Each structure stands twice: as C-alpha cells, then as structure tokens.
Chain A
Amino acid sequence: MTEPLLKVEGLKKYFPIKGGFLGRVKGHVKAVDDVSFFVNEGETLGIVGESGCGKSTTGRMLMRLLDPTEGKVTFDGQELTSLAPAEMRKARRDIQMVFQDPYASLNPRHSIEKILMEPLNVHNIGDPKERKRKVHEFLEIVGLSSYHAKRYPHQFSGGQRQRIGIARALMTNPKLIIADEPVSALDVSIQAQVLNLMQDLQRDLKLTYIFIAHDLGVVRHISDRVGVMYLGQMAELADTESLYEKPLHPYTQALLSSVPVPDPGFVREEVVISGDVPSPANPPSGCRFHTRCPFKMDICSKEVPLFAEVEPSHSVACHLYEACRPQ
C-alpha cells in the first residue's frame, strides 16, 4: 500500500486557562486530545462533530496555524510539526485552507485580483504578468469571470465570495485543501452550487480534501471517509457508507438520529441522548461520552476506551466493543 498523503498521530492541543492572582495557569482546555488519522491522496475525509468538539482546532493544527501541544503531523513524507516557521511557510504552498465565513475571510479593502495574487507573491510563483494570467484563469475555473478581478469583496454575494475563497486556496496548486465549514454560511441552493464546484475541482485537479463540517448530510455527500469527533477525541472513523449505514458508537447513532430529514413520512430509529456537551476544561473521566450515553456501563466512567479497528476500515472508541477495552 502507498503511504497516505497526510498522517496524524497523537495530536493534542491544550489551551491554558489563566486566572486568579498574577494570571497563573489554573487548568487546560483540552480542545484536541490524542487524535490520530490519515488521509489518502485524492480522497475526501470528512470530520463532523458538534461545536466545541475540536474539529476546527484539528484543521488549524494541520496547517500549523496553531501549534500542537503534542503529536506528529506528516505530510507527503515531511514531518510538519518539527519544521521551522520559514520552512513551514514553504510547505503551506501544498496545503491550503478554505474558511467558513466568506464575509470575514476576504479583506474588504483589497480587490479580488490583489486577494488572489497574494499567495503567488508570498510563494514567489511566476512573474507579474503570469500571476495576472493565473488570477484570471482561476476566476474562470471557479465559475466567475475575469472581469470580476477588479471588483471588491462587498460587490459579491455569499456564494460568489466562497468561490473566491476557493480560488485563493487553489492559486498555489496545492495537494491538500482543508475546508473548514465551507458551506455552512450559505443558503441551500448556493450550498449545492459550491459543493458541486468542489467535487468538480477535486476530479479535475486531483485534490485531496479534509472537509470539516457539522452538517451530516453535506458530509455524507462529499466524503469518502468520515471521522466523528466528540470533546476533543475521535469517537468513530469509517468509510462513509459503513458509518452512515451501520454506526457503531452510541454518539454517532444519536447524532445521526437527531438530524432532521426533509421527508415528513420518514420514521427513524431513535437513539435519544439527554443533556449538553460537558466542558472540555473538565472532561468526564473514562469515556468522555459516558455522561450522556444510553448504553453506559460501569467500565465507561473508569477506563478510557481504546480507538481500535473493530471491522475492516471501521474504527471506534467504545467499551461496547471487545477490541476497545484496555487489557
């Protein structure tokens, strides 16, 4: 088997909580706590979870927009976590990001041409003439026109701005694109346009995506494999079909059964969970989901379940499965 394009091992991010006298550190928010996964070239890995589960923090650490507290990220044979800042900047040429809010992620004072040219300037790609040609080329690729280059962000609708955000990410011909909730600020009809565009680009430019979102329908549509995060940990990771058809973790089951389905005649199998997500500053002992889990056993509050492969390419962290119980 070929090496995966991206490999993440034991990734952690703890944010210190400061307070009290002299602002001493009095605890940590464990935003991401021991997450491992890999992404193969050309595929889309979806990461889902509710707010505060650490999915965005994970995405940012892959780009080193946030430095991990612990763990290793290997991209295309190169270990990113040990790179010096200048080298990391070079590596970002191959990893680009698309952000959620197309209103906040484009500088309102820069023309579209300037916004799109910036990655080329930073990475020193081509001469000014070539850069301009590339800007026009990519505007066309994402479904806009070259005459849009002279305009400013406020002259575009939300969907068009997200197209610009995608064009900016594509300027350096990256291999991997991390898309953090790229369609959640958009209306359904526009969302469908952007999702289709992303799929076309993946096919034409042989891109690899990490698609972070909270909408389970969108994630199913675009992903080849899906990881479900809960309170900073990976609860389940599997091929899309197998995750949606046969979810193993009670949290995944509950999550899937909470999604409103656009079919009034649909009768669901319900897995009801009560209460809210606990605070990541003080996560529950043992399995982090045990406070809300309908299948809780004694062991759940005591031992942390292992994240283990219980079926071919279907991993889960839950004591209901033999393989996850620590020996």
Chain B
Amino acid sequence: MDERKTILDVKGLRTSFFTDDGEVPAVDNVDFHIRQGEVLGIVGESGCGKSVTSLSIMGLVPSPPGKIVGGEILFQDKDLTKLSDKQMRQIRGDDIAMIFQEPMTSLNPLFTIGDQLREALKIHKRDWSKKQIQARAVEMMKLVGLPRPEALLTEYPHQLSGGMRQRVMIAMALLCDPKVLIADEPTTALDVTIQSQILKLIKNLNERLDTAVLLITHDLGVVAETCERVVVMYAGKVVEEGPVHTIFKDPQHPYTRGLLASVPDMRFKKERLYSIPGNVPKPGSVKIGCKFAERCEFAFDRCRAENPELYQTADDHQTRCFLYDPKEAKSHDRTVIES
C-alpha cells in the first residue's frame, strides 16, 4: 500500500445543475482521493462529469444553475464545500491551483504576462516586496523552461505560441507552491510534439516540487504516460479506480474495456476497431440501475433494477459492476467477461 498521506479526499460528491427540466446530476456520488505528490488521472468521455468534478473542488461551479448538493471535499481537514467565498479565495491559487484546456482564452489579452503572474503573488503574498515578487515570477518562468524570462514578462499573450502560453499558465499555477495542481485537459488544444513537451514538464515538476497533480483528460494515451492511478468516470459516476498498470493491463468494468479497445493504437494496425454501441445517456435519464447497462454486452436483469456499488477487487482496485459483486461470482461465471 502507498504510505503517502492523503492530501485531498472527495467523499460522496454530488453536483447538480438546476434547469427548466429539473435537477440534472452532473456528478453523482463521486469518491476518490489524491495522495501527496501523486499524479491521479480522471478519464472519461464528454459529459461524464470529470470537469464538473474539478470545478467543484475549486469552488468554481457556475451558480446558478450549478450547485454542490452533497458530499464533502476534504483538504487539510477542512471541508471545502463549507467554506465561505472569502476563505475559498485564499485557498484557490495558493494551496490548490488549476490550469485549463485553452491557454489562448485563459490569459487576459490586455495585460502583460508579468502583470498576470504578479497579480497572484500580490493577492496571496501580501508581505512580499515588489522585488521579491518580480524575482519569484522570473524564477517560475525559468522553472517551466521559458527562454529569456525577463523579456517575456513584458510581452502580451498574443506574442506567445500555444505551447508557451500553456507554460505560462503552469508557471502561474505553481507560483505559490500549491499542494494540489488540477490540470483540466491541459494538452488537448496543443499539437502532439508540444503536448509531449508539456506532459514531460508537468511530470518533472510533480517530482521536483512534490505537488500532487489531478490530471483530467479524455485521452487514454496521456493517462498511461503520466498518471500513477486512474479514476474512470461514466455518466457522473466513478466506474473503476486503480493503479494505471492494472487498469490498462486488466481492465474490469465493461466500459473501461470497451474504451481501451476503441482506441486505434499507433503501434500496430487492428483489422477492425471495437466500438461500444449506442451513446452516452443524457444526464439524469437513467434513474435506476447501472448507467452503462443499455450499452453493455454483459448486462443482465439485476443491472437494470439495482444500482451497483464499487466492489473492491484488489487492495487498490475497485469496479462498479455486478460482475464483480462477490455474490454474483458464482451465478455469472467469470469466463463470460474474460473471453
């Protein structure tokens, strides 16, 4: 078992959006934790709730219509869901920082890179002198591998390329030595050669600074290369959780299996891709039963009648599927899914 201390613990998180059609649960009873210095991946397709999960942690769920309706987010023994806006502002950007998908739109085009980097320090390090702040900004620019940091600080976002902007975003996020860095699709908008540079940088900083990273992505390749543990989400629920090696070698949930089989592999040619039939259900449309049941080739009556829980299949591996319920193990032979 991992000895590192848990730094962020999400318990039974439920975030809903209240629309004209009623309550739409985007995140439905999600549990996971991140240990100090760990890289945890959350992977899933669009609409699975992975981004809303990260926004919930940051207290950035647009409200209204969104609202955290249940659960706790424990960070250093504090429940983030109970904090006031003011208290949350002190944590955000200081202890927990975030980088977003679009480096183009998350920087303000009207301010220089330097203004934007210094702003975070002015807010969180009130006792620092101007000199200290400037020195820290330059230090962070160097840390993320940006050339000629002093000159870049006086430039505007449009003068930088996409890869450089994402480096600036990372520098900005790491200014105050956060304990947790949330990266929401940090490389999706970038080209592959730049993507591999940025992923290496994130991994390298994680090792050097011991910052825990929560990496949210739809790309299974990115997860395999950067993360230690993975949480797979589907329709607002965690369907499988485990170490990256086990999940990729021995995926258990039929959704995880299907997802892995659908990815065209660059290393060899598959004659035909496996494809999961059907579409992701509309949030809130499946009221009872496993949300994956209608697309699942192993589904049986119980899948449509009861909600599966997360079954522990190994010390560090759990799966939300009745096939792994110890009670089902006899009646439904494991060989069915092994085939």
A residues engaging B (CB < 8 A)? 50-51, 157, 159-160, 187-193, 195-196, 199, 214-218, 220-221, 240-241, 244, 254-266, 273-274, 276-277
Contacts and interface: CB of A to CB of B under 8 A. Distances in A.
A214 B46 CA distance: 20
A157 B281 CA distance: 11
B193 A187 contact: no
A261 B273 contact: no
A241 B267 CA distance: 10
A216 B266 contact: yes
A218 B192 contact: no
Of the candidates A191, A257, A258, A260, the one having the most CB atoms from chain B within 10 angstroms of its own CB is A260
A160 B280 CA distance: 12
Given A159-B279, A187-B218, 8 more contacts: A187-B46, A192-B264, A193-B276, A195-B264, A220-B266, A220-B269, A261-B224, A262-B221
Contact of B163 (A192, A244, A259, A276): A276
A221 B260 CA distance: 15
Contact of B272 (A199, A215, A240, A244): A199
A258 B273 contact: no
Contact of B275 (A50, A160, A193, A257): A193
B300 interface: no
A306 B249 CA distance: 44
A262 B260 contact: yes
B224 A192 contact: no
B199 A260 contact: yes
Contacts of B119: none
B88 interface: no
Contacts of A263: 224, 248
Interface in B49-64: none
Query: Which of B197, B248, B267 has the largest number of chain A CB atoms within 10 A?
Result: B267
Given A189-B262, A260-B196, A260-B199, A221 B270 contact: yes
Contact of B263 (A188, A196, A214, A255): A188
17 contacts: A160-B279, A187-B45, A188-B220, A189-B262, A189-B276, A192-B274, A217-B263, A220-B264, A254-B193, A256-B266, A260-B195, A262-B220, A262-B223, A262-B224, A262-B260, A265-B245, A266-B224
A193 B161 CA distance: 34
Interface string B191-222: 11111110100000000000000000011111
B164 A192 contact: no
A214 to B, nearest CB: 7
Interface in B159-215: 161-164, 191-197, 199
Contacts of B262: 188-189, 191-192
Nearest to A199: B272
Contacts of B276: 189, 192-193
B265 interface: yes
Q: Please provide the 3 A-B residue pairs with the shortest distance between their CB atoms, ordered closest to farther.
A: A260-B221, A192-B275, A192-B262
Interface string B224-268: 110000000000000000001100110000000011101111110
B193 A221 contact: no
B192 A190 contact: no
Contact of A277 (B191, B219, B224): B191
B259 A273 contact: no
Given A50-B192, A262-B265, A276-B194, A192 B222 contact: no
A262 B191 contact: no
B259 A188 contact: yes
B51 to A, nearest CB: 14
Interface string B62-75: 00000000000000
A187 B263 CA distance: 10
A221 B268 CA distance: 8
A258 B218 contact: no
A218 B219 CA distance: 13
Contact of A216 (B192, B222, B272): B192
A240 B277 CA distance: 28
A196 B272 contact: yes
A217 B264 CA distance: 5
A259 B192 contact: yes
A314 B275 CA distance: 32
A271 B233 CA distance: 34
B248 A262 contact: yes
A189 B196 contact: no
Contacts of A264: 224-225, 244-245, 248
Contacts of A218: 264
